[in-house]
């Protein structure tokens, strides 16, 4: 089982949808683009999701080539997300597209193996499988005495 990761997101007060994201010692901003009513002060939630998928893909590839001593100078992952009509014709599904560029002295077989490995990165697997999101309210703060 993997360790529990704690990320805290809170409104930062600088815009309708502007959020402060604390991930360990890292502080990031999230927002919606202006076209969706935000101020575009940070990536949108779906851009963060794409970043997670791209980072996981590149890191997984790097780990794999290091174990085999393959010559991969750089992996670059370009990502897109869109909603598509599901086969039932009534609902939608999320479609994530990755274009992976591999720089280095790699054979065609190695490149195909790296494409296969990219599909096994943990975030890819999470997105492909059903997930559970459990939400609950935090304990209410105690009223202050005047």
Cα-based distances in Å from 134 to 17, 77, 131, 137:
23, 30, 10, 10
For 91-111, the pLDDT digits (tens) are 999 999 999 999 999 999 999
Tokens of 89: 């014709």
For 51-94, what is each residue's pLDDT tens digit?
999 999 999 999 999 999 999 999 999 999 999 998 999 999 99
Residue 43 has pLDDT above 80, yes or no: yes
Q: How confident is the model at residue 146 (pLDDT cuts 50, 70, 90)?
A: low
Averaged pLDDT, 11-22: 95
d(CA 59, CA 61): 5
Q: Minimal CA–CA distance to 100: which of 56, 41, 44?
A: 56
pLDDT at 51: 98
Beta bridge partners of residue 97, listed in sequence order = 80
Q: Using an 8 Å Cβ cutoff, are 80 and 96 in contact? A: yes
Pairing of strands 72-85, 26-30: unpaired
- Residue spans of the domains in the chain: they are 1-43, 44-131
With 80 as the cut, is the pLDDT of residue 1 above it?
no
User: What residues have CB less than 8 Å from 113, skipping those under 6 apart?
Assistant: none
Listed residue (38, 45, 104, 116) closest to 71, CA to CA: 104
Superfamily per CATH, domain 44-131 = K homology (KH) domain (3.30.300.20)
- Only one residue has tokens 């940070």, namely 42
Taking all residues of the chain, what is their mean pLDDT, rounded to a whole number? Answer: 93
Q: Is the pLDDT of residue 4 over 80?
A: no
How far apart CA 70 and CA 104 sit, in angstroms, is 9
Contact 58, 51 (CB under 8 A): no
């Amino acid at each position: 089982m993997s360790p529990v990761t704690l990320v805290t997101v809170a409104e930062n007060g600088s815009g309708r949808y502007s959020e402060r994201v604390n991930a360990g010692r890292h502080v990031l901003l999230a927002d919606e683009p202006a076209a969706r009513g935000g101020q575009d002060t940070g990536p949108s939630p779906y851009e963060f999701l794409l970043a997670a998928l791209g980072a996981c893909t590149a890191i997984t590839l790097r780990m794999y080539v290091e174990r085999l001593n393959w010559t991969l100078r750089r992996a670059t992952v370009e990502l897109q997300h869109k909603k598509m009509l599901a086969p039932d014709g009534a609902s939608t599904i999320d479609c994530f597209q990755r274009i992976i560029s591999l720089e280095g002295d790699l054979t065609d077989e190695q490149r195909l193996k790296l494409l296969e490995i990219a599909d096994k990165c943990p975030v890819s697997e999470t997105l492909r499988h059903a997930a559970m999101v459990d939400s609950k309210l935090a304990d209410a703060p105690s009223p202050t005495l005047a």
